[in-house]
Structure 1
Amino acid sequence: MQVLRAQLEIRPDPAEVGRARRWARSRLAGSGIQADEPLAENLILLVSELVTNAVVHTGCPAVLRLCLPEEVAESATVRLEVADFSTRAPVPRWVDGEATGGRGLALVDGLADRWGWSPEGVGKRIWCELDRCSGADGRSVAYAGGALPTCQGYEGYEGLAYEAV
Structure 2
Amino acid sequence: MQLEIRPDPAEVGRARRWARARLAGSAIAADEPLAETLVLIVSELVTNAVVHTGCPAVLRLCLPQTPAPEKATVRLEVADGSTRAPVPRWAECEETGGRGLALVDGLADRWGWSPEGAGKRIWCELDRRDAPDGAAAACPDGGALAYEGLAYEAV
Q: TM-score range by the shorter chain?
A: 0.7 to 0.9
Deviations 1:16-70 (A, max 9, x none): 0000000000111110311121110100000000000000000010000000111
Question: Aligned partners of 2:40 and 2:51: how far apart in 1?
Answer: 16
Correspondence for 1:54 among 49, 72, 78? 49
Counterpart for residue 2 of structure 2: 7
**CA offset at residue 144 of structure 1?**
4.3
Q: State the SS of the aligned residue for 1:23.
A: helix
Correspondence for 2:78 among 69, 82, 103? 82
Higher strand share: 1
**Is the CA contact 1:49–1:104 (under 8 Å) kept in the aligned structure 2?**
yes
Aligned-residue CA RMSD (Å): 1.9
**CA offset at residue 142 of structure 1?**
8.8
Q: 1:142 to 1:35 in 2, by over 3 A?
A: farther
Match status 1:44 vs 2:39: yes
Q: 1:45 to 1:144 in 2, by over 3 A?
A: farther
TM-score, L = length of structure 2: 0.84
Question: Aligned partners of 1:143 and 1:122: how far apart in 2?
Answer: 36
**CA offset at residue 136 of structure 1?**
4.4
Counterpart for residue 130 of structure 1: 126
Q: State the SS of the aligned residue for 1:35.
A: coil
**Is the CA contact 1:39–1:142 (under 8 Å) kept in the aligned structure 2?**
no
Q: 1:63 to 1:82 in 2, by over 3 A?
A: same
Between the two proteins, the alignment pairs up a number of residues equal to 139
Correspondence for 1:104 among 100, 105, 119? 100
Which one-letter code corresponds to 1:69 in the other structure?
Answer: P
Counterpart for residue 146 of structure 2: none
Question: Aligned partners of 2:140 and 2:54: how far apart in 1?
Answer: 34
**CA offset at residue 73 of structure 1?**
1.8
Tell me, which stretches of 5 or more residues in structure 1 are unaligned? 1-5, 146-165
Which one-letter code corresponds to 2:78 in the other structure?
Answer: V
Identity over aligned residues, as a percent? Answer: 80
